[in-house]
Structure 1
Amino acid sequence: MTTDTTTTDQNDDELFEHHSFVVDKGQTPLRIDKYLMNFIENATRNKIQAAAKDGSIYVNDIPVKQNYKVKPFDKIRVLFEHPPYEYLLTPEDIPLDIVYEDEELLVINKSAGMVVHPGHGNYSGTLINALIYHFENLPNNSSERPGLVHRIDKDTSGLLVVAKTEHAMTHLSKQFFNKTSEREYVAIVWGNMTEDEGTVEGHIGRHPKNRLQNTVFEGDDEDKGKPAITHYKVIERLGYVTLVSCKLETGRTHQIRVHMKHIGHTLFNDERYGGERILKGTTFTKYKQFVENCFKILPRQALHAKTLGFEHPKTGEFMSFDTPIPEDMQQCIEKWRHYATHTK
């Protein structure tokens, strides 16, 4: 099993651990710079090689060079003299689209492209950098992230609730844990879905060969993932793509993206999961140009967190919020609608 701790543990040499992995038992010999490229988001090979040259990459507590070949069960650690940047939070004056606010909480409509919290490769410009600028004394969640009750991916747009008090953090987090909150996403997926509606149930966990992806584990491998349930419903069929509504019963990382790919309907332009390729349609050059134009209009995965519902932590009232589909996604839908209508 591979693990990634990304902690601030210090050793005797005043070094901070940024990443930690245990190599899977089935791993074939592979240069460590190539191996780490698959496991550290936004890392370039040059940066990894520079870290190895500086003696920052350890295997079984011994520094190694970039040509070291990893073996099963090797323990890899990346250590630097500075703490991970994600723990150095700096307030930044970034405007927020606040849909609702009171003394206990606020609901934000996050734009696509904004990272929710700092992490490797994204140390500034995040939602948290904006939140700590605009609001003082936000409560930390269990991961020491101020205000965050839940998160959505960088290139997913839509609604998030943020806690402003300790009571709200506890109350709202419990609702998400107990699956009593309501979340609906709208997505464009590749292919014409066979059924008008359905449910995907599949345990989700880290992909064994590419840690930047998650995947569905079934049968004897179920214990490698966590239970995940997505309910989907077709909104509109647009020829070679389908507009769908997805309601989450659980909230696993990349859940909709993984579940839709699992049933053969990868999200449109989802680069991480292969949706940036033409997966359905014709071989005509004109069609290829049409799809490329759609990719340019919507340069991200076609996913929007449209509605959000939860019980207010103080009043007990159930609150529901809805936000329109953003312009880039709407334009893409209209292009497909026009194409589907004129090619029948």
Structure 2
Amino acid sequence: MKGLVLASLLAAVSSLVPTADYTYEQFVEDFHKEISPRAQSLFSQRLSEALSFNANPNRSYTKGINQFSDQEAPPRGRKASRVTSDLKLASTYKRTVEIEELPKEVDWRTAGVVTPVKNQGQCGSCWAFATTATVESHIALETGLLFSLSPQQLVACAPNTDHCGGIGGCMGSIPEVAYDYLIGAGGYAEEWSFPYISYTGATNGTCPASEDLQVKAGIGGYVKLEENNAADVMVALATVGPLAVNVDASNWHNYESGVYDGCEYDAMDIDHVVVLVGYGTDEDTGLDYWLVRNSWSPTFGEAGYIRLLREAPEDTKCGVDTTPQDGTGCDGASTQYPCGQCGVVFDVSYPTGAFLA
């Protein structure tokens, strides 16, 4: 999965809800932008869109102005499509409790097992960042120690010979490929010893020889949940820990806050990998949500997170993705039917056997 390629610039303002008198000149100052006629035109379009959308009193979320508001619609990423039989080391999830036994809300951030939000930049490495964040949490859950591990290691080293979700590195992959690599390689280096250099998307970096890799932690396997089983996703999230999920994030770029319900079920395009870290109910609207960690820096959305509308498992809607082989995909991929808002319960996994080296 390549993910949406978004150039995230350091900004004095992370994001804001615009007013009608907010100007392009103020935007340039707030977000340290270069003045450009084309960028100004895009900004004006996005400002008008946000003002019009936010004027609707019945909306469940708010659109804002952020560092992406003067950019073209970002390129679509590679698909999450893969041939299930090709997964080498996956185990099948078995539900241990029923939904009725679960807490009303879960937020793994409060347990101290979630690292700060990171930034993939212009590299299509969402798959590496989501895998890394998920593994970091499961290492912490198993050992009590929270390390910042290296997404760059996956970008530079994880082979994608079956071309699942892309061709690897900044051109996309999926968590299952990353898990397989990590198991064979013996684990992860810490981020300080293998820092991220692929921010601009110009390079995947160089993979060091195995004897030069300073492995800190690893995993022994991973679990694949049944596709589109919302009940299993909710139980696994509450009882096991954070989950790597594949979603349609094509319209997330102007999300500011609230419970997002903007994905189109009849035209889904699964193109991004993120991490489920919790669920709950919004106090203001009463809407149930999934809490999702993104990799577009803390300036995106709610401090780097987005809340997606969560339907009851028995009422979870499904959509259609008719182009699962955009880019490269996996051989044999065909039309898919992702379920949940933005396909959030379609393709879900987590690592097992976490250990410190």
Same fold (TM over 0.5): no
Specify the structure having the higher radius of gyration (Cα): 1
TM-score normalised by structure 2 residue count: 0.25
Higher strand share: 1
